[in-house]
Structure formats: structure tokens, C-alpha cells
């Protein structure tokens, strides 16, 4: 019996120590750069972490502690930390740490004294943070639209896609849905991007019209609701999938409603300035941006845009689009806006 009483008292004593643990100080070391949470008590504190790579937001939750000091967030802002916030969950304390570009994060605990350390040393510069999927429309047996002087949509789209790849590959992981003149189905295009966990999907196309005077650039983003005009363009592009044996209606929207709204917002953020700058630099008509139910965008689990670089059926447009110098300008603008979207 005495043995059980001794064990019980020890257990109570241990729990009381653990329950009374608190964060007694938060400090920032400079060499090496570390954010340190000093914990009172002798029991090693438990913690959970999560990192949102897109927003560079590190979440650190320390379990079963009280906040024993005030958080003066301004004193931690500097070379590695952009912002820090705290939430008291009652029994746990959570910290949201917005890191600056290039800052690392390795979280671990140390004893004697007890502390949680966030190591902020720079990440390996060879590691690329974001992945961009570049989708050259059509390809192989599917030429896309054939326009003035028999230019094929698939050829111009691939040429521009390769130029964008060369401009982004230094800073980004670039995934090409096709790098040669090969046929890739609409569902496979989005599947390639999803498998590589791409952060942005950019599909390149050229528009076509029975009216040869129709001209200009326009950009589309995925939307379940669209204008009559946008519906016609989406139906036209989706028809190529059906023409080559794919039911585009079977390509499902795989993201939830909240993710759908957020991705649409992000897509609009890049689409609007991109179309304005592209059309201005090439002296082409800015036809605006539209939401539409494109199958190739619907199947991607993230923000995405479909760029109609111009009308292949318009003599002035295709003359510009077929020139290497102008394709370099397009690639410069697209790569620049993509880089600005992330950084």
C-alpha cells in the first residue's frame, strides 16, 4: 500500500509541475539566428508545428503551458521574421510566425533549462520553393486552331511555353505538360500539375474566330459561372478534348468550395495585370479577363489561368505572335508576372 501511495503522490507532484509550466521569456538570438521560448519547470515541453509554404507562415503550438510574459511582437521583426502573433488556447499557446523569404525553420526542444528553439538559419539556396506548371495547349494529332498562313496553335503555344520555362527555371521548379509535339489529354494535363504539387497552372493558347477582324489578348480563370461570351470560348477549347475521345464533363472540380473561392481570387490577381501588360507591350488589343468553366483549369487543384495570346485567324495578331522577338517579349512578361505573384 505504501508503494502505491508513494507512486500516487509522485504522479500528483509531476502533474502539478507540468500544469504550472509557463513561457517565462521569448528572445531572439542573432548568431545563430534563433527564436527561443524559455519554459519554466523541469519537464520537457511538447510542441506541434505546421508550415504554410505558400504564405511562409510557421505555426508553433506549445502544449500545456501558460503565457508568463507579454509578447512584444515588434521586437522580433527583422531579418528573418516579418510578423509574429500569439493565440492562447487555454491549455496550449500557439504562435503564428511569418518568415521572410530565404529564412529557414527548424523547431526542436532543449533541456536544462527547458526551451523550444526555432532555428532561423537560411534555407539551402539550391532548393526552389515554388512549382509552376506550364501547359502548351494542344499538340501531336491535335493542332488546335489553324489560322492565317496555316500557322498552327500548337506550335506557337509550345514555342512561348519553352521560353517561359527557360526564364523561370532558375528560381522555380517548372513542370511542362509537354515539351515536344505530343498529344496530351486535358485531364492528363491537370493530373501532371497536381502530381507535381504545382503552385500555379498556366495554360497557353491562341484564339480563333470566323470573323478575321477579331483580335487581341484575353485571359481566363476557372469559374463555375461565366458570361455568354466566356462560355463560348470554354466550349470551343473543351471541344478539342471531346474531338479526341475525352468527355470533358467527366473532369471533376477536386477542390472544396473554400479552396475554389481562394484559388479564383488568386487567379484574378495574376490575370488582370498580366493581360494589361502583355497587350500594351505588343501593341495588341486588351480584351480583358473572364471566368469560365475550362476543363483543363477545372481539374487543377490550385490557382490557374488560361492565356489566349491572340487570334491566330487575324493577320496582324498572328504576324506578331509568330515572330521570335515578340515571343520573347511575351515570355518576359509572363515570367515577370509569375515571379511577382510569388515574390
CATH number at residue 30: 2.60.40.3500
- 16 found inside a domain: no
pLDDT at 83 over 50: yes
Q: Indicate if 338 and 227 belong to the same structural domain.
A: yes
* Residue 186 and residue 90 in one domain: no
Task: Give residue-wise pLDDT tens across range 60-77.
Answer: 999 999 999 999 999 999
Q: List, for residues 212-267, the tens digit of each pLDDT value.
A: 999 999 999 999 888 899 999 998 888 887 877 777 776 767 667 788 889 999 99
Percent of the chain whose predicted confidence (pLDDT) is above 70: 92
The verdict on residue 9 lying in a domain is no
Q: Is 183 in the same domain as 247?
A: yes
Residues 192 and 335 in one domain: yes
Residue 247's pLDDT is: 75
Residue 89 forms part of a structural domain = yes
- For 110, the domain range is 21-119
pLDDT in tens, 22-61: 999 999 998 899 999 999 988 888 999 999 887 889 999 9
Number of domains in the chain: 2
User: What is residue 254's predicted lDDT score, i.e. its pLDDT?
Assistant: 67
List pLDDT tens digits, range 106-127: 999 999 899 999 999 886 655 6
More confident residue, 150 or 126: 150
- Whether residues 115 and 240 fall in one domain: no
* C-beta separation of 248 from 241 below 8 A: yes
The confidence score (pLDDT) of residue 235 equals: 87
- The yes-or-no verdict on residue 279 having pLDDT over 90 is yes
Predicted local distance difference test score (pLDDT) of residue 16: 43
pLDDT at 180 over 90: yes
Instruction: Write a three-state SS string for the chain.
Output: CHHHHHHHHHHHHHHHHHHCCEEEEEEEEECCEEEEEEECCCCCCCEEEEEECCCCEEEEEECCCEECCCCCHHHHCCCCEEEEEEEECCCCEEEEEEECCCCCCEEEEECCCCEEEEECCCCCCCCCCCEEEEEECCECCECCCECHHHCEHHHHHHHHHHHHHHHHCCCCEEEECCCCCCCCCHHHHHHHHHHCCCCEEEEEEEECCCCCCCCCEEEEEECCCCCHHHHHHHHHHHHHHHHCCCCHHHCCCCCCHHHHHHHHHHHHHHHHHHHHHHHHHHCCCEEEEEEECCHHHHCCCCCEEEEEEEECCCHHHHHHHCCHHHHHHHHHHHHHHHHHHHC
**What pLDDT does 175 receive?**
97
pLDDT of residue 127: 61
CA–CA dist 340, 221 (Å, integer) = 18
Are 43 and 149 part of one and the same domain? no
Give 288's pLDDT tier (boundaries 50, 70, 90).
Answer: very high
Average pLDDT, the chain: 89
- Does residue 199 belong to any structural domain of this protein? yes
Q: Is residue 112 part of a domain?
A: yes
Instruction: Report yes or no on 126 lying in a domain.
Output: no
CATH of the domain at 270: 3.40.630.40
Residue where a domain terminates, one of 119, 142, 164? 119
Shared domain for 250 and 152, answered yes or no, is yes
pLDDT tops 70 at residue 96: yes
Residues 98 and 225 in one domain: no
Do 187 and 253 fall into the same domain?
A: yes
Looking at residue 84, its pLDDT comes to 96
Q: Are residues 200 and 75 in the same domain?
A: no
Assigned domain for 7 exists: no
Note whether 25 and 147 are same-domain residues: no
Domain endpoint, select from 119, 139, 169: 119
pLDDT of residue 4: 45
Domain membership of residue 2 (yes or no) is: no
Residues 320 and 324: their CA atoms lie apart, in Å, by: 9
Domain identity same for 215 and 287: yes
Q: Is the pLDDT of residue 20 over 70?
A: no
Last residue of a domain, one of 96, 119, 142: 119
| C-alpha cell, 7 | 507512486
Q: Is the pLDDT of residue 8 over 50?
A: no
Amino acid at each position: 500500500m505504501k508503494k502505491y501511495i508513494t507512486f500516487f503522490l509522485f504522479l500528483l507532484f509531476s502533474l502539478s509541475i507540468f500544469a504550472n509550466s509557463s513561457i517565462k521569456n521569448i528572445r531572439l538570438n542573432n548568431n545563430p539566428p534563433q527564436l527561443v521560448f524559455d519554459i519554466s519547470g523541469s519537464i520537457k515541453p511538447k510542441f506541434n508545428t505546421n508550415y504554410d509554404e505558400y504564405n511562409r507562415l510557421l505555426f508553433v503550438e506549445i502544449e500545456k503551458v501558460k503565457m508568463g510574459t507579454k509578447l512584444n511582437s515588434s521586437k522580433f521583426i527583422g531579418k528573418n521574421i516579418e510578423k509574429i502573433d500569439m493565440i492562447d488556447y487555454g491549455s496550449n499557446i500557439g504562435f503564428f510566425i511569418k518568415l521572410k523569404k530565404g529564412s529557414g525553420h527548424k523547431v526542436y526542444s532543449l533541456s536544462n533549462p527547458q526551451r523550444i528553439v526555432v532555428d532561423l538559419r537560411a534555407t539551402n539556396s539550391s532548393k526552389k520553393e515554388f512549382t509552376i506548371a506550364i501547359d502548351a495547349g494542344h499538340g501531336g494529332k491535335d493542332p488546335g486552331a489553324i489560322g492565317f498562313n496555316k500557322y498552327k496553335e500548337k506550335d506557337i503555344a509550345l514555342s512561348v511555353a519553352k521560353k517561359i520555362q527557360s526564364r523561370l527555371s532558375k528560381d522555380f521548379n517548372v513542370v511542362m505538360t509537354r515539351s515536344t509535339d505530343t498529344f496530351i489529354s486535358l485531364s492528363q494535363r491537370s493530373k501532371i500539375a497536381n502530381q507535381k504539387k504545382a503552385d500555379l497552372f498556366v495554360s497557353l493558347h491562341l484564339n480563333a474566330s470566323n470573323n478575321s477582324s477579331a483580335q487581341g489578348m484575353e485571359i481566363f480563370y476557372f469559374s463555375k459561372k461565366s458570361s455568354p461570351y466566356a462560355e463560348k470560348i470554354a466550349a470551343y477549347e473543351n471541344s478539342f478534348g471531346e474531338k479526341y475521345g475525352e468527355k470533358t464533363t467527366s473532369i471533376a472540380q477536386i477542390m472544396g468550395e473554400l479552396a475554389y473561392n481562394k484559388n479564383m481570387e488568386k487567379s484574378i490577381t495574376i490575370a488582370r495585370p498580366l493581360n494589361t501588360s502583355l497587350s500594351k507591350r505588343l501593341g495588341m488589343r486588351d480584351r480583358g479577363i473572364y471566368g469560365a468553366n475550362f476543363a483543363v483549369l477545372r481539374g487543377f487543384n490550385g490557382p490557374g489561368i488560361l492565356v489566349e495570346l491572340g487570334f491566330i485567324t487575324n493577320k496582324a495578331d498572328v504576324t506578331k505572335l509568330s515572330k521570335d522577338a515578340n515571343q520573347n517579349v511575351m515570355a518576359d512578361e509572363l515570367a515577370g508576372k509569375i515571379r511577382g505573384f510569388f515574390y
